[in-house]
A = this chain, B = another copy of it.
Amino acid sequence: MKAVNPSALAGDAGVKTQAPSPALLFDTINGYHKTAAIQAAVELDIFTALADSPATADAIARHAKASPRGVRILCDFLTLLGFLTKSGERYGLSPDSALFLNRKSPAYAGGTLEFLLSDHLRGAFDLLTDAVRNGGTAQAQDGSVAPEHPMWISFARNMGPLMAPAAAGLAELLPLDAGRPTKVLDIAAGHGPWGLAFAKKFPRAQVVALDWAPVLEVARENARAAGVADRFRTLAGSAFDVELGDTYDVVLVPNFLHHFNTADCIRFLKRAHAALRSGGTVAIVEFVPNEDRITPPGVAGFSLIMLATTPEGDAYTFEEYADILAQSGFSVPVQRSLPASMNVALVATKS
């Protein structure tokens, strides 16, 4: 029997002690409760019910066609997670919830749940113990890097709106000459936001978007919606195999390299190097943890997703990307943050 800590007994429940606690353990084991809570909140559209003003559980329940008691308990949970505020009996939106979880917001990101909670991703984490044993995904057929994997259609349809601010930020960062024609190649374009941000900012830019053929249909829809379809071309196939073309001013590599080992990153970047004009720019958008690989937490934690879902992918550090770029013929990269994103941009030039 463990000795009792008298200081813990003396205090009331509000007193902080250094006594051991299973709180973190339970919070972590019960991580799936948080997944279920945000999923229920999005399905019941709790956040849109608060779009115009704070409201009581009763009022939210009428909007959500749900029980006031159920809504009260769910909203308290969302409040302690940080998605809602609570003042007396009224709940309100946090700034992030107003932006990302209110359906009336142009940056509404509730659709990301369809991708992030897909059978593919959930299944990969069901096999995490085996992935740690293997050192890579325990899913059949190389997980998410299998050719033409259907998950990327869901990614394109659902993850797009969330990336628009970061994509616009990237277009602001790169010093293209708006007055002359420029050529932009967008690798693993998905829904197309990265290349489209350049097409929108630079009226003479021509964008070539590369991805699996069914994914490119989503990108083309978005190009038409953005009114830039006449300057938007697609290239279907693997970025490792397809003929990329040449004399590009910029090659965009958004959230692509983390799926591969460093040798394959170099193999791809040498192809990008060959496709660029002399002095052209490669812009890598990535999760880049610090050298310690444990900070910032949300960024460093991305590595586990790559372990679960890919054979050899990882979240590489700045130093690793600098080495990968050097071995591919590029300059030392400059790292820049991107708005409303955990991604950063690593920008290097063809030397």
Chain A residues proximal to chain B, CB less than 8 Å: 1-2, 4-5, 8-9, 11-15, 17, 19-40, 43-44, 64-71, 73-74, 76-77, 79-83, 86, 95-96, 99-101, 106-107, 109, 112-113, 116-117, 122, 125-126, 128-129, 131-136, 162, 164-165, 168-169, 172-173, 197, 200, 288, 290, 292-298, 300-301, 303-308, 314, 335-342, 344
One of B2, B68, B336 near A106 (C-beta < 8 A): B2
CB of A129 within 8 A of CB of B43, answer yes
Most B CB contacts (10 A, CB to CB) among A25, A26, A64, A337 go to A25
Whether A172 contacts B340 by the Cβ 8 Å rule is: no
Supposing A36-B125, A116-B29 touch, asked if A135 and B1 sit within 8 A by C-beta, the answer is no
The reply to whether A70 and B342 contact each other, CB–CB distance below 8 Å, is no
Select from chain B the residue with minimum beta-carbon distance to A98: B20
Cβ-defined partner of A77 (8 Å) among B13, B40, B95, B301: B301
Chain B's nearest CB lies how many Å from the CB of A274?
A: 29
State the main secondary structure of chain A at its contact with B. helix
Measured between beta carbons, the chain B residues less than 8 angstroms from A82 are: 24
Contacts of A96 in B (CB 8 A): 20-22, 24-25
- Which residues on B sit within 8 Å (CB–CB) of A20? 95-96, 99-100, 107, 340
Give the CA-CA distance A314 to B15 in the complex, in Å: 24
CB distance from A57 to the nearest CB of B (A): 11
Instruction: Give A38 Cβ to nearest chain B Cβ, in Å.
Output: 5
From known contacts A12-B335, A19-B339, A20-B100, infer whether A26 and B77 are also in contact, taking CB-CB under 8 Å.
Answer: no
Q: Do residues A13 and B131 form an inter-chain contact, with CB atoms below 8 A?
A: no
In whole angstroms, how far apart are the Cα atoms of A122 and B290 in the complex?
A: 35
A4 touches B307 (CB 8 A): no
Neighbouring B residues of A134 by C-beta, 8 Å? 67, 70
9 CB-based A-B contacts, threshold 8 Å: A1-B165, A21-B341, A25-B38, A32-B35, A33-B125, A44-B129, A44-B133, A73-B314, A80-B297
Nearest CB in chain B to that of A162: its residue: B22
With a CB–CB cut-off of 8 A, which chain B residues contact A69? 135-136, 307
CB distance B38 to A28 under 8 Å? yes
Q: How far is the CA of A117 from the CA of B126 in the complex (A)?
A: 12
A124: nearest chain-B partner, CB-CB: B36
Name the residue of chain B whose CB is nearest to the CB of A134: B67
A27 partner, pick from B80, B169, B298, beta carbons under 8 A: B298
Q: In the bound complex, do residue A32 and residue B125 qualify as a contact, i.e. CB atoms below 8 Å apart?
A: yes
Residue of A4, A35, A81, A298 most packed against chain B (CB within 10 A): A4
How far, in whole Å, are A136 and B70 apart by their CA atoms in the complex? 7
- Whether A39 contacts B95 by the Cβ 8 Å rule is no
Inter-subunit contact B70/A131 (CB<8 Å): yes
Contacts of A44 in B (CB 8 A): 129, 132-133
The reply to whether A83 and B28 contact each other, CB–CB distance below 8 Å, is: yes
Is there an interface contact between A336 and B168, defined as CB atoms closer than 8 Å? no
Minimum-distance CB pairs A-B, first 9: A67-B135, A31-B34, A70-B132, A31-B31, A69-B135, A36-B125, A31-B35, A40-B129, A36-B128
